[in-house]
Amino acid sequence: MNFQFYCPQGHLLQADSSHAGHVITCPICAIQFIIPSPPPQAVPVVTPVVTPEENHGTGLDFTSSSKRSSAKGNELNALLGGEGSRQEQTQEKSSEANPFQMLEQKKKKVQKEQAAAQTKELLSQATKAPKKAAELELVHIPCPKGHVLDVDREMIGQRVQCPVCHSVYDLLLENSLEFIQEKKKEQELEELRLGKVWIIWAIAGVILLLLFLIFLMAT
């Protein structure tokens, strides 16, 4: 015989009386509890079967009773569904308010900001013009026999002796590897500029020659 009972959270459930004392899980709130014993006064109700012909004499309206039962069932389903939706909303709110998730999101945001700052700094350094040899704090000047020495900017212009071959020479900025490399780059840029100028002049000369030939053919 089936009987109805409530879970600890107040959800209405139904089970067979033979299941009393068993542990079950509420299908709505997922809480585990023991099925209570059915009430002693619970007596099975037998609904008499009345044909439409017999119904005319009794005046009973089974259609209205069925509609009322269906309406109660719909209300119960709506109530259970509302409970489920409220639980889902509660779970979503709890997940949104999770402090560990908030800390993880904040950490990712800080990492993105740091990566963007590092990228910006690298780009600025790449586009920044390199220092000239005269602005460097340390340059490399070879001795007459090719031994390269690290020279402080304050030592430029002094006479020194190479610690390797003991050659005596003057520390001149013009002899430093940085200055020589700088002049080499300037010379390459100047050659490129002159090459572009010569190309422009050549194109202009060809255009003028074509115009002159067109003028001669027209006359």
pLDDT, tens only, 172-216: 888 888 888 888 888 888 888 888 888 999 999 899 989 988 888
Across-strand partners of 148? 142
Residue 82 has pLDDT above 70, yes or no: no
Domain range for 204 is 134-218
How far apart are the C-alpha atoms of 175 and 167, rounded to whole Å? 15
For 140, counting Cβ atoms within 10 Å of its Cβ (0-12 exposed, 13-18 middle, 19+ buried), the class is middle
Residue 58 has pLDDT above 70, yes or no: no
Residue 207's pLDDT is 92
CA angle, 205 as apex, 199 and 210 as ends, to 5°? 130
The total domain count for the chain is 3
Residue 4's pLDDT is 85
Same domain, 25 and 67: no
Is residue 111 in some structural domain?
Answer: no
Is residue 163 in some structural domain?
Answer: yes
How far apart are the C-alpha atoms of 77 and 85, rounded to whole Å? 12
Residue type at 149 in one-letter notation: L
How far apart are the C-alpha atoms of 86 and 120, rounded to whole Å? 48
Same domain, 184 and 209: yes
Is residue 125 in some structural domain?
Answer: no
CA angle, 90 as apex, 84 and 94 as ends, to 5°? 145
Tokens standing for residue 6? 């409530």
Mean pLDDT of 58-84: 52
Q: In terms of DSSP bridges, do strands 12-16 and 2-6 run parallel, antiparallel, or are they unpaired?
A: antiparallel
Residue 61 has pLDDT above 70, yes or no: no
Contact status, residue 171 vs residue 162, Cβ threshold 8 Å:
no
pLDDT > 70 in the chain, percent: 69
Same domain, 213 and 153: yes
**pLDDT tens string 17-26:** 788 888 888 8
Is residue 122 in some structural domain?
Answer: no
Helical ranges in the chain per DSSP H: 52-58, 62-96, 99-127, 177-218
- Give SS3 for 170: strand
Same domain, 5 and 74: no
How far apart are the C-alpha atoms of 42 and 60, rounded to whole Å? 25
| Single pTM value for the model | 0.33
